[in-house]
Structure 1
Amino acid sequence: MTIAPSHDPYVATGRPQPDAKLTISRPTGTKPVRVMYVISDLSIGGAEMMLYKLLAETDRTRFEPAVVSLMDGGALRERIEALGIAVHTVGVRPAWPTPLDLWRLVRLTRRLRPRLIVGWMYHSCLAVQLASFFSSRLATVLWSIHYSISALAEEKWLTGAVIKACAFLSGLPDKIIFVSRDGQTKHRPLGFSTENSCVIPNGIDVNTFAPSPEAWASVRSELGLPSGTLIIGMMSRYHPMKDHANFLRAAALVAKTHPETHFLLVGRAVDSSNQELRRLIHELGLAHRTHLLGERHDVPRLTAALDIFSLSSYCESFPTVIGEAMACAVPCVVTDVGDAAWIVGDTGRIVPPRDPVALARAWAEMIKLGAERRAALGRTALSRVSELFPIKSVVHHYETLYETVLAGRMPESAAPVVAYQRD
């Protein structure tokens, strides 16, 4: 079991450095910069929620965002539109995008006339780069990559082909944003250019995700559990890399020595209709102590109700759910994937991926600490995440990057004045 040292979250090949403040003074009367974000779809997931948080905190006096969903709108469409931000769809079929889909994106880009185009994840990065070749107006193109790939062989063939194409074209965007240091490092051997890249981690909304004794009590009441029941939980969509089987096998081991413990799983397709999950739960004898809640809109409340948060994945980049649990003052036991160890620091436990014995042992150690010592770890976790990953600070870095990149593309007479100042 390893504990990660603390590091500053902002790692970039360019500026600003962590101890430097970038100030950009814009000419008076300047219109907000039109930014077009392109994303595959708006279903609820870590990368999609990060885009939503970025949009919600964007300074609308400086930026005018619009969102393009390549497929359907998804569950987040209404929430984004409620921010007063237009959402457009292209109508791409998931299995087989066509040249006609690309042409629709080109036409939409020409109509919206953005100054800045941001591709959000692989498929969208490739789409915006190709569309930029045919757009009548030259726009600045950025890629935002939210994945820390382990092996191309483990990807679907279409995703693998898209990643290879992105690697080939990676010298073309004005900047590539990775959300994790691990992701930046692992993309180099794949042929990605990282000379034009930087790292901006995902941000945590420490106001929405916060400690809540009321949630702790109400969730147990909702589940029909005694008030003192210890709950270990994970918030994650159902996907092979999330390794729910690892979580459940560890749960079976812990249940043998701590039979009062219950396990809570939340996320898309993590519900009673998931036959594969139900089969494994019954095989492991966990049917009466495992709660599958599916996709929920009260995730902050559910997170705050946990005694221990866990991540069982074998592949991640910057798993925001860890930071959200820490913001709720919930101690974490996570697998050593992506930047998970960096996020947790010395406020939790780190175990190897695909090792349910190690995961169960770490849970048992947390249980043995007792409620008071777990609460102390949780308070330390809250302090760490509030200092390193607050959403407002992360959004500031995005906005500063946008203006810095645009300043390099603008005619000198129209460019904002860029100055670095030491605090």
Structure 2
Amino acid sequence: MPRRAIAHILPWANVGGTELATLRLAEAMRAGGRDTVIYVPDDAAEVADLVRDHGFALARYAHAVPRRANPLPYLVATARLALDFRRRRIGLVHGADVTGACFSAQAGRLAGARVSSHVRCGHPHLTAIDRWLLKPVERFLFVSGATMAEQDFAWPPGCAQVLYDAAVPPTPLPAPAGARAHYGLPEDALVFGMAARIHPQKDHAGLIRAAARLRARHPQVRFLMAGDHAQPGHRETFARLDALMAETGTRDLFVFSGFEAQMARFYSAIDVFVLATHTEGFPLVILE
């Protein structure tokens, strides 16, 4: 009888550290001979392209939020996902983060699969429904000890562990002059770089305010921001940042490059890496 496959459940519609870390995990499983299916939300075109580019089987699922007043959409989505798990002979459902587990854990258990979930940041204020959705998870994988200490849900003894992420070995960097030319940055600028989703969890606003204070003393300073800002859910955050840059007079200091597939080029273009953020579990960009 063939071995059952592993399903990785990606929770969001854009590419970031969670997606890249999960792909690295899936590649390690594939190297060990395990069949893998990667599930992405219905509206995650960018993530779907990334999965295909890495040669993995791709499947879609619906983000149906359970509501007491009308639980039917969630129940239908869960039943459909469970049937798909059975059809694909999924033996292990892995939530790439807590959100992925919330949408898939019940379906995994209905399909007779084991269920695990990564936990990549603190969740100090979960709702009662969130905790209920995580009940079927049999093992939690925390990216750091600090992350394990910042959770608002319980797990049985022996069902949680810290599993650190890993960065890919560095690749040769292109020439800085060419990298800066690609982003439209002056060769003689002092360039700070940040790679992160354009998301309220990150403190791009604080960095913009800091840039306004730096400008008087260091007029040659520039800021290169890599991270998606065009997908739904990120556009509103970027619009607020754009308004803040206009208010502080810093718009000409910032380059928002969008999703960057060639991170070696990004690192070659900057002098200083910065991560302005409100909370992190174990940021891959620091390792890189």
Gaps of 5+ in 2: 68-72
Say which of 73, 89, 97 aligns to 1:121.
97
1:88-107 correspondence runs (5 A): 88-92=59-63, 98-107=74-83
SS of residue matched to 2:131: helix
Inter-partner Cα distance in structure 2 for 1:278 and 1:293 = 14
TM-score between both structures, scaled by the size of structure 1: 0.60
1:49 aligns with 2:20: yes
Larger radius of gyration: 1
Counterparts in 2 of 1:122 and 1:161: CA distance versus 1, 3 Å: farther
Say which of 148, 157, 161 aligns to 2:122.
148
1:238 aligns with 2:198: yes
What per-residue deviation string (whole Å, max 9, x for no partner) do you get for residues 371-397 of structure 1?
A: xxxxxxxxxxxxxxxxxxxxxxxxxxx
TM-score between both structures, scaled by the size of structure 2: 0.85
2:115–2:137 contact (8 Å) kept in structure 1: yes
Counterparts in 2 of 1:166 and 1:318: CA distance versus 1, 3 Å: farther
Inter-partner Cα distance in structure 2 for 1:193 and 1:59 = 29
Which amino acid in the other structure matches residue 193 of structure 1?
A: W
Which amino acid in the other structure matches residue 185 of structure 1?
A: A
1:267 aligns with 2:227: yes
Inter-partner Cα distance in structure 1 for 2:66 and 2:219 = 44
Which amino acid in the other structure matches residue 114 of structure 1?
A: I
Match of 1:132 in 2: 108
Structure with the larger RCO, 1 or 2 (CA within 8 Å, 6+ apart): 1
1:145–1:178 contact (8 Å) kept in structure 2: yes
Match of 1:182 in 2: 146
Match of 1:203 in 2: 166
Counterparts in 2 of 1:125 and 1:223: CA distance versus 1, 3 Å: closer
Gaps of 5+ in 1: 1-29, 153-158, 325-423
Counterparts in 2 of 1:48 and 1:256: CA distance versus 1, 3 Å: same
SS of residue matched to 1:234: strand
What per-residue deviation string (whole Å, max 9, x for no partner) do you get for residues 104-157 of structure 1?
A: 11110111122222122223213333113422xx322211122223x42xxxxx
- Between Structure 1 and Structure 2, how many residues are aligned? 278
Counterparts in 2 of 1:175 and 1:272: CA distance versus 1, 3 Å: closer
Say which of 16, 20, 34 aligns to 1:63.
34
Inter-partner Cα distance in structure 2 for 1:219 and 1:92 = 38
SS of residue matched to 1:142: strand
Structure 1 residue 71, shift from structure 2 partner = 3.0
Inter-partner Cα distance in structure 2 for 1:107 and 1:39 = 18
1:290 aligns with 2:261: no
Structure 1 residue 50, shift from structure 2 partner = 1.0
Say which of 235, 252, 272 aligns to 1:308.
272
Which amino acid in the other structure matches residue 275 of structure 2?
A: L
Structure 1 residue 166, shift from structure 2 partner = 4.5
Inter-partner Cα distance in structure 1 for 2:127 and 2:36 = 30
What per-residue deviation string (whole Å, max 9, x for no partner) do you get for residues 211-267 of structure 1?
A: 5251x2113223444323210011111111201111111111222211111111121
Say which of 141, 148, 154 aligns to 1:192.
154
SS of residue matched to 1:311: coil
Match of 1:414 in 2: none
Structure 1 residue 32, shift from structure 2 partner = 5.0
Counterparts in 2 of 1:139 and 1:213: CA distance versus 1, 3 Å: closer
SS of residue matched to 1:98: helix
Which amino acid in the other structure matches residue 105 of structure 2?
A: Q
Say which of 241, 244, 254 aligns to 1:280.
244
